[in-house]
Amino acid sequence: MTSTKPSARPQDAADNASAESASAAALHVGTSDPLTLITRNLRQSGIYIAFVVIVALFAFMTDGVLLSPGNITNIVLQYSYILVLAIGMVILIIAGHIDLSVGSIVALTGAVSAVLVIQHGQPWWVGVVAAVAVGTAVGAWHGFWVAYIGMPAFIVTLAGMLLFRGLTLQVLDNVSLSPFPAEYQKVASGFLNGLIGGQGYDAFTLLIAAIAVGGYAVSVFRTRLARIRYEQAVESFPLFVTRVLLVAAVVMYFAWQLAHARGLPIVLIILAVLVITYGLMTKNTVFGRQVYAIGGNLSAAMLSGVKVRKVNFWIFVNMGFLAGIAGVIYSSRSNGAQPAAGNMFELDAIAAAFIGGAAVAGGVGTVVGAMVGGLIMAVMSNGMQLMGIDQSTQSVVKGLVLLLAVAFDIYNKRRAGATR
């Protein structure tokens, strides 16, 4: 294999670049040595390594209970709404904003839904649509003040946190409402299972997982082919296969465990659809890319013709929309609406984004990273609960993890700056 180390003379490197990229051997700009890859992308891969370590640690300390079928199902059901919120939150954080009000929006949308469905006897879907609509409207309200009036999101959403908590109390008239009809409860606690049978496990769950894995493999392989056609750098083939197999193994293990519990949670399907949609949206659409441009350098984005106000407005609308979905999931899971619902959810969502590698100054972060960040929090909480560690200690540990994650981010940035 030809060496692709940058030539000592930059002129040479530039001259050779086009010739090199044409030859297949030189396609690995960089290296296929996993260790080098890991250290080079410490920021990105660090989060995955941390996740694996934390899962292993808690699996060990709970004698494997953490990874038992029932518990995995539990983690999914318990933290899904935080993950939904984290999707919207990381997008705001990339653009350099924040939303402190999402907990209140979850409460308000759940309350609106409960009033319609429980008090007025409307069908379950009316509650869902109304909750999402109210959430979206609240997002538009925030977006208006931030984007068009030019107020800092911190203040606007701090006001929103109070405002919408107050409205929740008024909508509910200060009392809890419950229970929801069975259909509504299914959103958060329902399962798809038994559709095609199985011997002590749910074959349907495994089938869906297999389809997902297959789709993933085809999609990344096509991307790889396109890259090669466009003469771009790709990782070496063995490494590529290893990566795909690793992902497949993790997903199938996860599905296997779910199949041995109660099957495929409906909320997991919702979450998967959202993660895939938003993951692609942020990376591959004009809109998503403009979010990164705004967070990376606001002035440069403006002077490149990005309609900054419009983008800022819509990412808040989107946050409201997702908070509405989270409101439905949460009210469905708790089977009712309470005045204090969703308290502090914003902090969990923000923590998930930052642990997942989003930069405090904006411009950096990914949806998938935020999901992993959220799962780290989820596994830690769940693991500590299984170990019988009390609430206060859990809070201390979570606080420290958030602190260290952001400190790591800042340390990395300084190191990157020093090597410049």
Residues of this chain that interact with other proteins (CB under 8 A) are 6, 10-11, 13-14, 17-18, 29, 226-227, 229-233, 284-287, 289-290, 292-293, 296-297, 299-307, 359, 363-364, 420
290 close to 211: Cβ distance less than 8 angstroms:
no
Task: Give the length of the chain.
Answer: 420
Q: Which is nearer to other proteins, 193 or 282 (CB)?
A: 282
Residue 7: DSSP 8-state: P
Q: Which is nearer to other proteins, 97 or 398 (CB)?
A: 97
**Shortest distance, position 193 Cβ to other proteins, whole Å:** 35
**Shortest distance, position 264 Cβ to other proteins, whole Å:** 29
Among candidate residues 374, 325, 290, 307, the one with its CA nearest the CA of residue 78: 374
Q: Which is nearer to other proteins, 178 or 285 (CB)?
A: 285
**Shortest distance, position 8 Cβ to other proteins, whole Å:** 13
**Shortest distance, position 302 Cβ to other proteins, whole Å:** 6
Q: Phi/psi of residue 414, each to 5°?
A: -65, -40
Q: Which is nearer to other proteins, 272 or 361 (CB)?
A: 361
In whole angstroms, give the CA distance from residue 154 to residue 146.
Answer: 9
Q: Which is nearer to other proteins, 4 or 205 (CB)?
A: 4
DSSP, residue by residue, 327-358: HHHHHHHTTSB-TTTTTTHHHHHHHHHHHTT-
Q: Which is nearer to other proteins, 36 or 285 (CB)?
A: 285
258 close to 205: Cβ distance less than 8 angstroms:
yes
In whole angstroms, give the CA distance from residue 257 to residue 270.
Answer: 19
**Shortest distance, position 361 Cβ to other proteins, whole Å:** 9
DSSP, residue by residue, 360-379: TTSS---HHHHHHHHHHHHH
Maximal C-alpha separation, the chain: 76
Q: How many CB atoms lie within 10 A of CB 39?
A: 11
**Shortest distance, position 307 Cβ to other proteins, whole Å:** 6
In whole angstroms, give the CA distance from residue 139 to residue 133.
Answer: 10
CA distances from 34 to 43, 234, 299, 404 (A): 15, 14, 38, 25
In whole angstroms, give the CA distance from residue 368 to residue 271.
Answer: 12
In whole angstroms, give the CA distance from residue 92 to residue 285.
Answer: 16
Q: Which is nearer to other proteins, 94 or 100 (CB)?
A: 94
Runs of H (alpha helix) within 173-265: 182-189, 203-229, 237-259
Among candidate residues 97, 127, 95, the one with its CA nearest the CA of residue 112: 127
In whole angstroms, give the CA distance from residue 258 to residue 251.
Answer: 11
Q: Which is nearer to other proteins, 181 or 296 (CB)?
A: 296
Q: Which is nearer to other proteins, 59 or 302 (CB)?
A: 302
**Shortest distance, position 16 Cβ to other proteins, whole Å:** 11
Q: Which is nearer to other proteins, 198 or 296 (CB)?
A: 296
**Shortest distance, position 40 Cβ to other proteins, whole Å:** 12
**Shortest distance, position 28 Cβ to other proteins, whole Å:** 11
**Shortest distance, position 420 Cβ to other proteins, whole Å:** 6
* Cross-strand bridge partners of residue 140: none
In whole angstroms, give the CA distance from residue 405 to residue 410.
Answer: 9
